[in-house]
Amino acid sequence: MTSTFAPLPETSTADLVAERLREAILDGTLRPGDRLVETDLAERFAVSRGPVREAIRLLAPEGLVVLRRNRGAVVASPSFDDVLEVYAVRMSLGALALTNAVELRAAATPAFTDAVRLLAPMRDPDVQADPQAMLEADLAFQDAVLSLSGLPRISAMLEQSARDAASFVSLLGITYDSTDHVALVQRHERLLDALSSGEPGRAVAAWQEHIRATVAEFARACPDADSARIHDHPLARHVLDATQEKP
Amino acid sequence: MTSTFAPLPETSTADLVAERLREAILDGTLRPGDRLVETDLAERFAVSRGPVREAIRLLAPEGLVVLRRNRGAVVASPSFDDVLEVYAVRMSLGALALTNAVELRAAATPAFTDAVRLLAPMRDPDVQADPQAMLEADLAFQDAVLSLSGLPRISAMLEQSARDAASFVSLLGITYDSTDHVALVQRHERLLDALSSGEPGRAVAAWQEHIRATVAEFARACPDADSARIHDHPLARHVLDATQEKP
DNA sequence: GCACTGTAGATTGTCAACAATCGTGCCAGG
DNA sequence: CCTGGCACGATTGTTGACAATCTACAGTGC
């Protein structure tokens, strides 16, 4: 195993608290609008207010909570417009990343093999049965593929947008019941094929198709967005129509 | 003025300290690799370590400092690769934002008039003589134009990337001596014209041309990047060549 | 002379108490 | 009945002290 002697994770108490809070928000224990009271959380986690405060400040730039001076923090309440924006960013930067990956001949690298391997869990029925696990496997795969770009900053932004997207699932009350896992895996396979082909255009097209399908699924499952009005949003053209404008 | 009754700035001590540190980094008082010792800073600003610590944590996600557990924070040392990445993001998301702005008929809004007004300071010889002031005026104008998209998240990301770009100027030791201010203002004017024309393609093209010129200027002035090797970087095609790939 | 271990000083991580601020409910006045 | 001021409780903002950790340097054994 190459990762056995990798640098240890640098986890402070604040990081641990932040991680717990993230989980609580993502699994629905904490719901949009809920207040995060430093004193309460400090008592529950059996630490002082310092690390808790730091943890909350850590979640703010991630978009999971919103801070208001002297009034504490509350769990964020995103709208469907946010979903469209995040996926528009994802489509745009993803295209950039994948083009770069192709130009780097990423398909021939060990990192590519690792990415291919990450698709395996998504075919596992046990994983498919657990929405949370499925979501995490999906995220891990997409992060790995997009990291093939060799662009650290852009990869980090894409990972952030992936976490945003994941948080929308719980914050908007998406129900994952009959999601078509097979189609999802197939889209990922097509993406890998396109990367192997060495044609940037094919990779970008596969990516855009994936985003389009994901947003469409979101729109169907999201109680907030009545499907009729979605197409009024200017961004809908970008993230729902397969064809994109040319410069 | 529309902003007279905007919400008051919610400035805590930590925000003030962060602002001072930002200035210190941006004007070169603090240089890449310099350590930020909480005790020292607390004493200088005449506050306790708490707010200083929080301020440093605030600068970390902005990319101005890097944190290492139990070892404090140091001022970031970006490379020219970072410049290319940031401008690639800027080109990509800017195209998205401007397309949206055109589709919203932004040219007919008061916000557009405000943006036009922001160009005036950049023609002022006094401002042009002060690189710092010129940079800020440029940033304010670009932020205003890109905000016409009506996409809050994407506008925020673009503002962040603009701050990143500004920080590179000092962190990479760019010398601003003979920058062609006239050409810069002309590019901005062309961008406004394109927005008024109502053709998304023209706005995007003007934007890409602006990014291309900016990066080229960066490459010329940056002592770190020997111009010969820049074009080896895969991103160079995107941010230096005017033509972009089609999906 | 070299590699390793142990200690000292500096610095960060954490804590608990104090001060400042906000929201709520009550009460007087119109 | 509604409006405006006031006090109280709850919560955040800030502080200084203590504990844990890191880096550098000196000392020990080979």
* pLDDT tens digits along A54-94: 999 999 999 999 999 999 999 999 999 999 999 999 999 99
> Which 20-49 residues of chain A approach strand C with CB closer than 7 Å?
47-49
Closest-CA residue of B relative to A13 is B69
What is the 8-class DSSP label of residue B61? T
Q: Search chain A and give the residue with CA nearest B244.
A: A247
- Domain map (residue ranges) of chain A: 13-75, 80-240
| B246 in contact with chain A, both atoms CB, cutoff 8 A | yes
- Domain A80-240: CATH superfamily is GntR ligand-binding domain-like (1.20.120.530)
Q: Tell me the chain A residues in contact with residue B88 when contact means C-beta distances shorter than 8 Å.
A: 96, 151, 154
Residue nearest the C1' of C20 (CA based): A70
Is B187 in CB contact (< 8 Å) with chain A? no
Structural tokens at position A34: 């809920």
pLDDT in the model for residue B109: 94
Assess A234–B contact: CB distance below 8 Å, yes or no.
yes
Tell me which residue has tokens 């198709």. Answer: A209
Q: Distance between CA atoms of A38 and A72, rounded to whole angstroms?
A: 8
User: Which nucleotide does the CA of A68 lie closest to, via C1'?
Assistant: D12
Tokens of B14: 């930590």
**What string of H, E and C letters represents the secondary structure of A182-244?**
HHHHHHHHHHHHHHHHCCHHHHHHHHHHHHHHHHHHHHHHCCCCCHHHHCCCCCHHHHHCCCC
Of A239, A103, A40, the C-alpha closest to B99 is A239
**What pLDDT shows up at residue B221?**
83
Alpha carbon A72 to its chain centroid, in Å, reads 26
- B188 contacts B213 by C-beta, under 8 angstroms: no
By C-alpha distance, which of A166, A57, A183 is closest to A128? A183
For domain A13-75, the CATH architecture is: Orthogonal Bundle (1.10)
DSSP string, B79-115: -HHHHHHHHHHHHHHHHHHHHHHHHTTGGGSHHHHHH
Whether the CB of B71 is below 8 Å from some CB of chain A: the reply is no
Residues of chain B with pLDDT under 70: 1-9, 177-179, 224-231, 241-247
A138 vs A116: CA distance, rounded Å: 12
Distance CA B53, CA A54 (A): 9
* Confidence at residue A244, expressed as pLDDT on a 0 to 100 scale: 45
Asked if A151 and A97 touch (Cβ cutoff 8 Å), the reply is: yes
Topology alike, domains B13-75 and B80-240: no
B37/A111 Cα distance (integer angstroms):
38
Which regions in chain A score pLDDT beneath 70? Answer: 1-4, 7-8, 177-179, 224-231, 241-247
